[in-house]
């Protein structure tokens, strides 16, 4: 399928490049991976052309500024990444858009940077890489906390999506992975960490205050679609400190948007299609951590969806979510 739109597509700047080394695969691939994740011109565009991707929304690689404990340093790095993306969009306005990188130490500062990126730079939303480390490596903040309500008010006012991207749990909180470090990242821990954060948001009451919020998560829903029925069923007996006015599943189905990034599997795709409105599902690749040709080859040929839904999920839904104006 030609004309696909993808929006979990990463790049790095020099300050964040080293953070990706553990996720780049075999160490012999590092030089190749470095070229891919730093490039915002011919090489990336050629991969997009070969895969039928018309437009990619760029985002700073994980964990990005979320692992920088100093607020001022994090803001400097975020702004450098955001300016680099803005330059790439200016060079290739028909091929790229951008999601803002945000330091989440101070909700007011994060809201200010998001507002600048959306209103001055034309960004389409933001991508935040999980919890924020603040002050020291063992101090983390999740965004369901009351102190972030003004930030969510700004996201609501701007009416742009917030993409919640995975990151690994920090060592001081990861005793259950001891002796099994392979579990901590993409094979399992990414989904665990992101799904917990997403469910915390569902239970915080933030969607009652701001019902137009749009939260994106990747990998066909970070395992939540498979477990959503049971979550709601068992919460009849476990609602302590649950602050939502409605069942959790209502918020997930109405406020969450799910992409195919890095999960090119028919069985998981069927489950997500069964759980969510098809207008809330999107094609994405997760480049360069995944190959665009693998994502597109699976998506273009899966028989799980009709050609009408293939166009909807591959293009039309993103046009609507991101308010894109493409010919």
Catalytic residues: 286
Q: Cβ neighbours of residue 152 under 8 Å, at least 6 residues apart?
A: 143, 206, 209, 210, 213
Q: Are 104 and 78 in contact (CB under 8 A)?
A: no
Pairing type for strands 162-164 and 126-128 reads parallel
Closest CA to 217 of 62, 3, 7, 45: 7
Name the packing angle between helices 42-51 and 30-38 (round to 10°).
Answer: 90
Give the side-chain half-sphere CA count within 13 A for 315.
17
The token duo for 130 is: 């999980």
Q: How far apart are CA 199 and CA 240, in angstroms?
A: 14
DSSP 3-state of 74: helix
Chain-centroid distance of CA 261 in Å reads: 9
Q: How far apart are CA 256 and CA 42, in angstroms?
A: 33
Q: How far apart are CA 75 and CA 193, in angstroms?
A: 24
Q: Cβ neighbours of residue 291 under 8 Å, at least 6 residues apart?
A: 47, 285
Q: For the purposes of burial, counting CB atoms within 10 Å of the CB of 301, is it exposed (0-12), middle (13-18) or buried (19 or more)?
A: exposed
Q: Are 139 and 75 in contact (CB under 8 A)?
A: no
DSSP 3-state of 265: coil
Q: How far apart are CA 277 and CA 257, in angstroms?
A: 9
User: How many CB atoms are located within 10 Å of the residue 159 CB?
Assistant: 12
């Amino acid at each position: 399928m030609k004309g696909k739109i993808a929006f979990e597509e990463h790049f790095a700047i020099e300050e964040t490049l080293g953070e990706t080394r553990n996720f780049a695969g075999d160490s012999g691939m590092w030089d190749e991976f470095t070229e891919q994740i730093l490039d915002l011109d011919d090489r990336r565009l050629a991969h997009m052309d070969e895969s039928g991707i018309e437009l990619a929304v760029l985002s700073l690689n994980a964990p990005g500024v979320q692992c920088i404990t100093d607020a001022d340093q994090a803001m400097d790095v975020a702004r450098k990444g955001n300016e680099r993306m803005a330059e790439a969009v200016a060079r290739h306005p028909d091929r790229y858009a951008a999601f803002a990188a945000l330091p989440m130490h101070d909700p007011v500062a994060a809201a200010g940077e998001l507002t600048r990126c959306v209103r001055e730079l034309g960004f389409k939303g933001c991508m935040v890489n999980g919890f924020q480390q603040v002050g020291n490596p063992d101090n983390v903040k999740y965004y369901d906390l009351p102190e972030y309500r003004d930030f969510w008010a700004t996201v609501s006012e701007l009416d742009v999506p917030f993409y919640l991207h995975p990151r690994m749990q920090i060592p001081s909180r990861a005793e259950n992975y001891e002796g099994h470090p392979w579990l901590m990242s993409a094979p399992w821990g990414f989904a665990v960490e992101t799904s917990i954060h997403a469910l915390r948001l569902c239970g915080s009451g933030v969607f009652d205050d701001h019902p137009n919020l749009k939260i994106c998560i990747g990998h066909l829903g970070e395992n939540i679609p498979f477990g959503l029925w049971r979550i709601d069923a068992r919460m009849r007996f476990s609602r302590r400190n649950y602050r939502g006015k409605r069942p959790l599943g209502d918020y997930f189905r109405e406020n969450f948007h799910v992409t195919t990034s890095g999960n090119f599997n028919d069985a998981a795709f069927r489950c997500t299609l069964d759980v969510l409105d098809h207008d809330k599902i999107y094609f994405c690749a997760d480049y360069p951590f995944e190959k665009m040709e693998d994502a597109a080859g699976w998506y273009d040929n899966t028989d799980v969806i009709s050609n009408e839904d293939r166009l909807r999920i591959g293009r039309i839904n993103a046009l609507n979510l991101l308010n894109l104006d493409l010919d």
